[in-house]
Amino acid sequence: MTEFTWSELDQRAVDTARVLAADAVEKVGNGHPGTAISLAPVAYLLYQKVMRHDPAEPKWAGRDRFVLSIGHSSLTQYTQLFLAGFGLEVEDLKALRTEGSLTPGHPEYGHTAGVEVTTGPLGAGVGNAVGFAMAARRERALLDPSTPLDQPSVFDHFVYAIAGDGCMQEGPAAEASSLAGTQKLGNLVLIYDDNHISIEGDTKISFTEDVAARYESYGWHVQTVDWTNRGTGYTENLQALFEAIEAAKAVTDKPSFIKLTTLIGWPLPTKSGHHSVHGAKLGAEEIAGLKQHLGFDPDAHFAVEPEVLAHARNQAADRAAAAKADWTPAYTAWREDNLDRAELYDRLAAGAVPDLGAVLPVYGPGKKATRAASGEVLTAIAEAMPELWGGSADLAGSNNTTMKGQASFLPPERSSHDFAGDFAGRTLHFGIREHAMGNILNAINTGLTRAYGGTFLAFADYMRGAVRLAALQKIPSIFVWTHDSIGVGEDGPTHQPIEHVASLRIMPGIDVIRPADANETAQAWALALSHNDRPSALILSRQDLPIIDRAAAGVAPATEVAKGAYTLIDAEGELEVVIIATGSEVSVALDAREALQAEGVGTRVVSAPCLEWFNAQPASYRAAVLPAGVAKVAVEAGVPFGWREYVGDTGEIVGIDHFGESASGALLFAKYGFTAENVAAKAKLALSRLG
């Protein structure tokens, strides 16, 4: 076990972090000072005594990962990034929660150096931590498979997370923690700040369970450190916490949970333990009392003694140098011994994706559900993209998210009759845990590998918070959502998504892709994988759809999907009507065109698999596809919301603005007007408005 050391300068640095947190919140007038004050020693211990990292190279491949699941307490992390020398300075702390600062209200990935993931929505960070731990295992298996599991690898690292009472109450944290126990993630250490306080005060009004026992039941290694000494007096026993962390690191077959009982805001003179310090400034008198207690000038603000800052930064730099002195030679030796895998590593580190054009399946005329085509595409590209892995929330057979021939990612002893695997597997089994799945995917996709996860589209709402965080962080997670409309049929309205596609389209920063057939699905996968700056949603059908004959006269190739919306087949004769459709309704639009053309109405069909891509095209292209002065009809088996801007005031929208029912999908399509006859009639109505 590493020796625990703690000096007077270490303690002074902790107390400096406390007064900086108090001053920062007081200056801006809002924020969360209490936890940042009481957890300052915990965070300092991690950053200065435990974690392997390099402030001069925040993205160093050999670093440990840190997740502040209680993201509202952002100063817990910001003060340590300042002290360790990650690039934050006192002026940044003074600018807390103000426009353009490096210290926003919650830590933001890609914005502040040293922040591994955006946190704030409680519980999400726990899922992220599980994802980081899973990613570390997968990256090792992919890049260093020859090193025995009981031997260290350059791709090993620990994941440390701090969570609070709010995180423990949130479902996503429970989902992810349950999966972490099943996965036996021995590289994960979660510290639970058990202070019994939430916004409404003492948690006994709503939260009385034995959290440690719950984590034991999940299969975690559980320890308890009580700084309140069962309410008899407060002692920040950092050696006990350090020893608990070291003991956790020694347990390699279970994730570790450390319940740390604290007093929020300690050592504030009058407000320690009170919920008022959770999310509000403390007031000048209380801060002055804190500073006097800690030996600081009560009239000085943002005071940092040069010797304290020098100590913290030098200590962090020295530890980084020592860690790299061990890691770098091992990394160099790995590269020399693994030339092919080193080449793969370099591609992954650069975020480059291979050209998939040669391996994508090409489909001739016939019928196939786009969910089925999606599964075939995944199998086809598996060898070309060894970094790709994924699965579903217990819906592998329905979502078609399993690459054929690929083992499952799980401890070997967890293998079942249907799914066998090991730590090198590529098929993920999230269980029925949609929200955790989304958070886990987001963490994985910040790293070297690419991961996807699936469920039914109707359940996208269960994971919407994680999807929003993916978009906010510009993380290239791929969400596979099947059973995309009333075509689900007999399962009824609980499983028939109506408003979901439209609601996803209004979310900034995500590409919502609803392909018309198998070939569009193949192109959609290739395009989604080519983007590393935003998430993608693949919206796929349960039912078989006609595969468009791309060899037929006038039919555009499926590669046009890249434009978001394109002329699938143009009018014969003068253009009078444009029918815009997505997904399963494209075949309906084609049948409507045939009927209209038979009556001499020149009709163009536009397939619009991704409106985000279409909206990004030049105005000239968009105007050419959807020209002014012609009748327009939009057809999509979902709410009409959003289509008016494409069809104009005189256009028609064939949609559904009510829930479905339990009946065959074909019957429902006919009953609700998704037929060639109705679409053709709507086209004529729109045409009549043009005179």
* Catalytic residue set: 434
Residue 341, H or E segment: helix 339-349
The tokens for 492 are 């009824």
| Three-state secondary-structure class, residue 531 | coil
What whole-number distance in Å separates Cα of residue 17 and Cα of residue 304? 9
Closest to 146 measured CA to CA, from 427, 337, 286? 337
- Nearest CA among 226, 225, 221, 224 for reference residue 250: 221
What is the identity of the amino acid at 305?
A: E
- H helices present in 459-517, as ranges: 464-473, 500-505
Report d(CA 646, CA 672) in Å as an integer.
Answer: 22
Instruction: Provide DSSP, 62-112.
Output: T--EEEESSGGGHHHHHHHHHHHTSS--HHHHHTTTSTT-SS-SS--TTTS
**Do residues 430 and 453 touch, judged by C-beta distance below 8 A?**
yes
Cα(580)–Cα(599) distance, integer angstroms? 19
What CA–CA distance (Å, rounded) separates 480 from 472? 19
Taking the chain, what is the end-to-end CA distance rounded to the nearest angstrom?
Answer: 85
Q: What angle do CA 607, 610, 612 make, to 5 degrees?
A: 135
Is the separation of the CB atoms in 338 and 519 below 8 Å?
no
Instruction: Kindly provide the residue ranges of all beta strands, DSSP E only, lying in 195-254, ordered along the sequence.
Output: 197-198, 201-202, 221-226
Geometric angle at alpha carbon 308, from 283 and 159, rounded to 5°: 85
Q: Which long-range contacts (CB under 8 A, 24 or more apart) does 670-677 make?
A: 672/486, 672/637, 674/585, 674/588, 674/635, 674/637, 675/588, 676/588, 676/591, 676/592, 676/594, 676/595, 677/592, 677/595
Residue 607 to residue 590: CA distance in whole angstroms: 10
Yes or no: say if 17 and 212 are a contact pair by the CB < 8 Å rule: no
Contact 282, 26 (CB under 8 A): yes
**Whole-number Å distance between alpha carbons of 409 and 406:** 9
